[in-house]
């Protein structure tokens, strides 16, 4: 880990160790950190989830001048402590869970010793640290989603009286906290123009759209011929929009597809927990791969990527990655929201079960259309979502050399 003279210093605070970058949150965090490290001395302070350990000899250490970690406490005692703190301070539970006294102490020590020029807070709950930042230090908040909107969507589909009471309280507190966080930050990063517009309405001083990016030199179209009958979903079931989307697809869409094309086979890639139940009569058409070290082989050999999401915010990293790989996607509009793809040219949009099934079936009969739509998606990934291009814009934003984005632009 080395430092270059005269470079400004960034204290980058992450809600989980960003490398190895396995999940969406980590991939965005590490992509942004890696780009910032080209222009700034980056000092990382990260919450460490169970199983996460700091290595001083991996790729992350090459990007950072220093790395410090604070272990996230789990278990009954930690949950009770977070709950009591949430009640006493009228804070969202997610904020009390992440921003512990230990994290605040480590953050204060980093401020005192590093004396950063910029503090980057890489998730909304971390904005609770902003009041500790001395004046004269720029505070940047990266909003991976509009969190209050995301939980409002979850509230709409939540069942059970007690769950609704809990989520209603959390949504109310989170909406207030998110607005205050935007007001307290010198700069807010949004994942999409839609999120940019919403965060601007919250009163944020300056908001810029920085989409989820991808290394297009690594994620390339497969050289292996695809099977148009094979469809694939990429995403862990621990992220509830993924799970809800796949439950809908399995319950309402897949049967319609296989009844017309019994050669269809669905590949599910990603953390299988919580368990996703496949109807018994459809099990022969589905393979659960779970987490795999290299998803590109399965994705590249499949003709169609499905994105059947009806809940979410920001931009879906899986969509950007699939575009980089030249995949033909069938997606709900919510699933590809915020990504600059055009219906019938670089993606096929379908929101109802009937339309979704018909879209897949039509493509399975036209391998040439699958290839053309995938090629168009790849061009968009190269032009808009390559991390190197995003990094140039990040530096311009952090250095103050470009003015505020217009979300409608």
What would the pLDDT profile of 17-43 be if each residue is shown by its tens digit?
Answer: 999 988 888 999 999 999 999 999 999
What pLDDT digit, counting tens, does each position of 136-195 carry? 999 999 999 888 787 777 777 777 788 778 878 888 998 899 999 999 999 999 988 888
Q: At 308, is the pLDDT very low, low, confident or very high (cuts 50, 70, 90)?
A: very high
Q: What is the pLDDT of residue 315?
A: 62
> Which residue segment(s) compose the domain that 203 sits in?
9-213+387-399
- The structure's pTM equals 0.80
CATH number at residue 160: 3.40.50.2000
85 and 58 within one domain: yes
283 and 204 within one domain: no
395 and 293 within one domain: no
Q: Are 132 and 181 in contact (CB under 8 A)?
A: no
What pLDDT digit, counting tens, does each position of 246-301 carry? 999 999 999 999 999 999 999 999 887 778 889 999 999 999 999 888 899 999 99
Q: Which of 173, 169, 180 lies closest to 205, judged by CA? A: 180
203 and 293 within one domain: no
Is 233 a residue whose pLDDT tops 80?
Answer: yes
Q: Are 157 and 240 in contact (CB under 8 A)?
A: no
User: Please, is 367 exposed, middle or buried when counting C-beta atoms within 10 Å of its C-beta (0-12, 13-18, 19+)?
Assistant: middle
Q: Is 404 inside a domain boundary?
A: no
Q: How far apart are CA 178 and CA 182, in angstroms?
A: 6
Neighbours of 214 (CB within 10 A): 24
Of residues 294 and 102, the one with the higher pLDDT is 102
39 and 131 within one domain: yes
Is 360 a residue whose pLDDT tops 90?
Answer: yes
Could you tell me which residues come within 8 angstroms of residue 90 by beta carbon, excluding any fewer than 6 positions away? 173
100 and 72 within one domain: yes
Q: How far apart are CA 30 and CA 62, in angstroms?
A: 12
155 and 65 within one domain: yes
Number of domains in the chain: 2
Is 405 a residue whose pLDDT tops 90?
Answer: no
Average pLDDT, the chain: 90
190 and 173 within one domain: yes
């Amino acid at each position: 880990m080395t430092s270059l003279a005269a470079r400004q210093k960034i204290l980058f605070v992450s809600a989980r160790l960003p490398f190895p970058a396995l999940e969406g949150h980590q991939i965005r965090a590490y992509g942004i950190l890696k780009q910032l490290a080209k222009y700034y001395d980056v000092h990382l302070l990260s919450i460490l989830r169970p199983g996460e350990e700091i290595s001083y000899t991996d790729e992350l250490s090459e990007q950072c001048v220093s790395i410090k970690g604070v272990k996230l406490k789990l278990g009954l005692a930690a949950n009770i402590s977070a709950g009591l703190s949430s009640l006493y301070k009228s804070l969202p539970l997610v904020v009390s869970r992440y921003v512990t006294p230990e994290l605040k102490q480590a953050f204060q020590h980093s401020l005192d010793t590093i004396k950063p020029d910029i503090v980057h807070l890489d998730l909304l709950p971390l904005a609770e640290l902003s009041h500790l930042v001395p004046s004269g230090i720029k505070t940047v908040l990266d909003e991976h989603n509009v969190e209050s909107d995301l939980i409002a969507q979850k509230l709409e589909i939540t069942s059970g009286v007690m769950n609704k009471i809990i989520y209603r309280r959390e949504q109310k507190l989170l909406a207030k906290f998110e607005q205050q966080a935007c007001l307290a930050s010198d700069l807010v990063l949004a994942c999409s123009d839609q999120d940019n517009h919403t965060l601007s309405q919250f009163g944020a001083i300056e908001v810029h759209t920085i989409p989820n990016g991808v290394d297009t030199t690594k994620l390339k179209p497969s050289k292996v011929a695809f099977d148009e009958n094979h469809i694939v979903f990429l995403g862990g079931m621990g992220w509830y929009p993924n799970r809800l989307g796949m439950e809908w697809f399995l319950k309402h869409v897949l049967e319609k597809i296989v009844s017309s094309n019994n050669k269809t086979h669905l590949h599910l890639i990603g953390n299988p927990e919580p368990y996703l139940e496949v109807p018994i009569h459809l099990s022969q058409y589905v393979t659960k791969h779970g987490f795999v070290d290299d998803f590109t082989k399965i994705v590249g050999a499949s003709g169609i990527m499905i994105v059947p999401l009806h809940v979410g915010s920001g931009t879906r990293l899986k969509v950007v990655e699939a575009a980089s790989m030249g995949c033909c996607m069938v997606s709900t509009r919510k699933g590809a929201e915020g990504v600059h793809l055009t219906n019938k040219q670089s993606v096929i949009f379908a929101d109802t079960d009937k339309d979704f099934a018909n879209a897949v079936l039509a493509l399975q009969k036209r391998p040439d259309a699958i290839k053309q739509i995938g090629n168009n998606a790849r061009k968009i990934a190269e032009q808009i979502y390559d991390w190197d291009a995003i990094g140039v814009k990040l530096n311009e934003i952090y250095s103050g050399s470009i003015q505020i984005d217009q979300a409608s632009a």
